[in-house]
Amino acid sequence: DAKTTQPPSMDCAEGRAANLPCNHSTISGNEYVYWYRQIHSQGPQYIIHGLKNNETNEMASLIITEDRKSSTLILPHATLRDTAVYYCIVRPGTGANNLFFGTGTRLTVIP
Amino acid sequence: DGGITQSPKYLFRKEGQNVTLSCEQNLNHDAMYWYRQDPGQGLRLIYYSQIVNDFQKGDIAEGYSVSREKKESFPLTVTSAQKNPTAFYLCASSTRQGTITDTQYFGPGTRLTVL
């Protein structure tokens, strides 16, 4: 069962910030928000995850709303190599085996 | 380099033959997973293993078998009982389930085509 809702596709100009939204209105208090991406015919790549606070790493930033019902993944300076399908996943911090990958958002970075 | 390797990248088999897909990791992870991905769809969990000599069925285990004799290795056998075996197969590993953040890391995948 899908716990997240993402737009099916987005475009972004090269060099600009890509902001990918995700709705997870039924998220529980112990569930984290994870982001992965999958470039065509490759395995999914972990990007970032968070619980309540905003997070940043070398790849991206994750902004989680105060009510935790939605989040945004930000790629600060998109490059052509960032063209991929991006998956937003919610899962408990412990006790979960499955990662439910929905259909994600297909991000196309345009030169 | 630490990581997860899957071999081969592409595999072709005749209908009715069993085939084994390899997955090896040198991340010292306790848990390993097998997923299946069909075109335009998300991932579905086949089997997972939290520790050596133990494994559990996922959502779509029918027609598949696994073994976990070594921490580093988690091979998946696609048997002739699997009705639609043609798919992209992904292996993942994580630190042992029960830790606060057991992020799963994926291998490059094996694309199996049954003719």
Residues of A in contact with B48 (CB under 8 A): 97
Distance of alpha carbon A75 from alpha carbon B42, whole angstroms:
22
B63 touching A (Cβ < 8 Å): no
Segment B5-64, tens digit of pLDDT: 999 999 999 988 999 999 999 999 988 999 999 987 888 999 999 889 999 999 899 999
Contact B33 A95 (CB under 8 A): no
pLDDT (0 to 100) of residue B90? 96
**CA–CA min distance B100, chain A (Å):** 5
Q: Which chain A residue lies closest to B55 (C-alpha atoms)?
A: A97
**pLDDT above 90 coverage of chain A, percent:** 77
Q: Which chain A residue lies closest to B99 (C-alpha atoms)?
A: A94
CA angle A11, B110, A57 (to 5 degrees): 45
Distance of alpha carbon B73 from alpha carbon B94, whole angstroms:
13
Given a contact cutoff of 8 angstroms between Cβ atoms, the answer to whether B34 and B89 are in contact is yes
In three-state secondary structure terms, A67 is coil
Burial B53-62 (b: 16+ CB within 10 A, else e): eebeebeebe
Segment A18-27, tens digit of pLDDT: 999 999 999 9
Q: How confident is the model at residue B101 (pLDDT cuts 50, 70, 90)?
A: very low
